[in-house]
Amino acid sequence: MLDVIWLIPAFPLAGFLLILLFGRRLGEPRSGYLAATMVLLSFVVSVGAYFDLLSMSEEERSHVESLFSWVPVDSLQIDMAFLADPLSITMCLFVTGIGFLIHLFAIGYMHGDPKFSKFFLYLNLFVLSMTLLVLGENLLVTFLGWEGVGTCSYLLISFWHTKDANASAGKKAFVTNRIGDWGFMLAMFLGFQAIGSVSYLNLNLAAESGAIGQSTATGISMLLFVGAVGKSAQLPLYVWLPDAMAGPTPVSALIHAATMVTAGVFLMTRMNPMLAAAAPEVSVLIAWVGAITALFAATIAVAQTDIKKVLAYSTVSQLGYMFLAVGSGAFVAAIFHMVTHAFFKALMFLGSGSVIHGMHHEQDMRKMGALRKVMPVTAATFIIGWLAIAGVPPFAGFWSKDEILLFTLAERGPVLYAIGLVTAVLTAFYMTRQVIMVFFGDARWGSHANEAEAAHLEHADDETDGAEADAVDDAHPVETHGAHGEFKPHESPPIMLFPLVVLAGLAMVGGIIQLPSFGFIPSDWRHKLEDWLHPIVAPGEAEITGSSAYDAKELLAVLAIACALVGIAAAVAIYAKKMAKPVEPEILADGWGYDRAISAFMGGPGRKAFDAIAWFDKTIVDGAVNGAATTISKSAGVIRRGQTGNVRNYAGILGAGVVLLLVWFVIGRGVL
Amino acid sequence: MSAAMLGAVTPTTTYYLILSALLFGIGAAGLMIRRNPLIMFMCIELMLNAVNLSFVALAVRFGNIDGQTAVFFVMVVAAAEVVVGLGLIISLLKRRPGANADDLAELRG
């Protein structure tokens, strides 16, 4: 299967082209099934490649499949080549696997949307870009995918672009990502300047052997980190991700759980020898940025009322954990958390999509409650996701988060560890709050019987996808709409529930890929992921087995469990038992005013600066260009008067010229 | 009857060159003065032939075939010019009465 590794991006490409050509004719739901099948085929190839690699010895597990010479310019030789090694295949497995489930879910979720085919067109293009990103053998192929996911996220976030908020959210994502791309590009140039190649293998080899000096390695690592901060929504560039919730929910699940935002962590892991060769301060900085982002986003998530915004800030926070791991030299733990996070966050995003679908596009959690009775499957799977992210063993999230915290304490000391623990408490708290607000307590959706609100809701439905509401009515003739005076949420169709159930299963048992070395776990069950990724992450991976933190790892795990339980208990006390009025400070709901501060800055001084630059461009730059053009045009106007069209006139000028030449030859040059 | 019997001087190269310059001058003056395109055309021929004369004279003077070779090229170009030029002039004369080159200034800038 390794020889046909190019099939992994080729299938979504085929799907993209087919839907591009025949999308209208295929219509709903066939274009959806086509797109999903293509991603499934990619997944099958990935699984085949996985088993191929597994059958090789550890040192051989790196296969480069070169398709053609892409950029052959003198010393710059860049191939369109794919690299199949444990890291890229791990990424491919969960990108295409979860991508397939999300495609299935979307078939149900987008049912009735007038732009159904176009949605799957974009989704396949997205998967194509993401597979290019992870499979690229060099920075340029990765950059192609990197820009591709950026473009697709723009297209998908603003998919319902007739709404102002959606359109501007797409733009925000696009523009913010450009800042990160700047770092990525400079890193690429710097790498090429240093060793004349942008291939990962060459760059990493050069970093390991010392062919790249520490200062260059530091520069490359820092610039790559800038790129990663943009793509993976870390401080200060996280602003695009919460806004991106404006897109359809399957998009949120795909972009914000399984694919695009993980690209930054993937890139840092891919280049870990470079990070190891860089100044140690770079890793410390990455750890701090990650930890502060994790805490910062978690505090904001505590006070959000939009069901998807909570999950969005939670994603930012969990990505912060991954960067904390990267900065602590725990690359295996970063990838481990990325995989488990993809499982449970995709599950919860799709679960929230199911809730939104069942609630007829209501996203405000204050208008939900007691949904477990009407949506039992969604509720059960969501609760599994909640336990996983909150860090309750034996669910997947506990193992990965515990591993990150262990490395943080061993490598970066107690301060960052404490930030990680506080974040864990907050994570458990806000997720419990969400589960209680949505699935438990009193049913607050009855208020939709209110005539005015119902009319408003009906209107909102028409705006997004009115056809869907009609189709839903067809499927469930008993249920009626708010406008008819009665509002009843309903469970989603099986095609949406199936992915939820599969993901819930993965969120439950996903931890087995990297179990820690606790006494009660059989020794051949431990550290599977670490053994698998070992040759790739070995140069940058921190060694902590001799540290005091490692010796106390059971105690630390108990501490982490205690933190999770404290968070859950606090939320239950406040929200379920109503012992206290909800404590949700305005500043948290507002995201610490960060977004508004940026808007104010960009609208005020920023705007003035841009106006000044625009003025400079218009008067000085354009003025110089236009001035040169005007001068030439005017002198041409003078000269053109000599062109009379009179032959004898021309002959006279010619004759005069001959005479002048003669005079010059005779007098000036002394001929004759 | 030889040139010496008539009491005339033997023509040297200088005589040919002076004749050539005179013919060229007449041609150039005619081109600038006359308005009839056909006459102007003949003036051009005159100038070309003046040049040919100087080529041949100098070729004989230096015992070098290059000048005569150049004359052949000039004659070929002149023939081609006549074919195209005469065609143009005749179609122009068909279109408009009179034959005045000064009236033909439609392609001016």
**If you search the block for the tokens 């021309």, which residue do you land on?**
A650
Contact B102 A651 (CB under 8 A): no
> Global pTM?
0.75
pLDDT of residue A581: 58
Contact A647 B109 (CB under 8 A): no
Q: Is the peptide bond before A394 cis (omega within 30 degrees of 0)?
A: yes
Segment A518-529 mean pLDDT? 78
Residue A564 has pLDDT above 60, yes or no: yes
**CA–CA separation, A82 and A473 (whole Å):** 48
In this complex, the residue of A640, A647, A652 whose CB is nearest that of residue B101 is A647
Contact B102 A643 (CB under 8 A): no
What is the β-pairing status of strands A63-73 and A76-84?
A: antiparallel
pLDDT of residue A244: 80
**CA–CA separation, B13 and B66 (whole Å):** 16
Residues composing chain A: 672
In this complex, the residue of A643, A644, A655 whose CB is nearest that of residue B32 is A655
SS3 B39: helix
Neighboring chain B residues of A651 at a CB cutoff of 8 Å: 28, 31-32, 40
SS3 B104: coil
pLDDT of residue B5: 57
DSSP letter at A14? H
Neighboring chain B residues of A652 at a CB cutoff of 8 Å: 32
pLDDT of residue A45: 92
pLDDT of residue B6: 61
**If you search the block for the tokens 């190839």, which residue do you land on?**
A45
Neighboring chain A residues of B108 at a CB cutoff of 8 Å: 643-646
Distance from CA of A642 to the nearest CA of B (A): 8
**CA–CA separation, A421 and A200 (whole Å):** 35
Q: Which residue of A has its CA nearest to B108?
A: A645
Contact A643 B101 (CB under 8 A): no
Instruction: Indicate the residue type of A414.
Output: P
Backbone angles phi, psi at A364, to 5 degrees: -80, 120
Q: Angle A3-A7-A8 (CA atoms, 0-180°, nearest 5)?
A: 110
Q: What is the ipTM of this complex?
A: 0.75
SS3 A76: strand
Contact A643 B40 (CB under 8 A): no
Task: Using alpha carbons, list the distances in angstroms from residue A565 to A8, A387, A472, A557, B3.
Answer: 42, 10, 39, 12, 135
Contact A651 B109 (CB under 8 A): no
Contact B35 A648 (CB under 8 A): yes
**Encoded tokens for A642:** 């000599």
pLDDT digits (tens, 9 = 90+) for B15-70: 999 999 999 999 988 988 888 888 888 898 999 999 999 999 999 999 989 999 99
pLDDT digits (tens, 9 = 90+) for A197-221: 888 888 888 888 888 888 889 999 9
Backbone angles phi, psi at A55, to 5 degrees: -80, -5
Contact A651 B35 (CB under 8 A): no
pLDDT of residue A309: 87
The answer to whether B80 and B46 have CB atoms below 8 angstroms apart is no
Neighboring chain A residues of B109 at a CB cutoff of 8 Å: 640-641, 643, 645
Neighboring chain B residues of A648 at a CB cutoff of 8 Å: 31-33, 35, 40, 101-102
Neighboring chain A residues of B105 at a CB cutoff of 8 Å: 644-646
The answer to whether A358 and A375 have CB atoms below 8 angstroms apart is yes
Lowest mean pLDDT among A61-75, A155-169, A453-467, A524-538: A453-467
In this complex, the residue of A647, A652, A655 whose CB is nearest that of residue B40 is A647
Distance from CA of B35 to the nearest CA of A (A): 8
DSSP codes of every residue in A218-249: HHHHHHHHHHHHHHTT-TTSTTHHHHGGGS-H
Segment A124-141 mean pLDDT? 90
Distance from CA of B66 to the nearest CA of A (A): 21
If interface means Cβ-Cβ distance under 8 Å, which residues of chain A face chain B?
640-641, 643-648, 651-652, 655, 658
User: Residue A440 contacts by C-beta under 8 Å, 6 or more apart in sequence?
Assistant: A369, A370, A372, A576
Q: Angle B62-B68-B72 (CA atoms, 0-180°, nearest 5)?
A: 165
pLDDT digits (tens, 9 = 90+) for A80-96: 888 888 889 988 998 89
The answer to whether A349 and A471 have CB atoms below 8 angstroms apart is no
Contact B31 A648 (CB under 8 A): yes
Residue B71 has pLDDT above 90, yes or no: yes
Q: Which of A311, A346, A314, A344 is closest to A104 using CA atoms?
A: A346
Distance from CA of B40 to the nearest CA of A (A): 9
Backbone angles phi, psi at A83, to 5 degrees: -115, 115
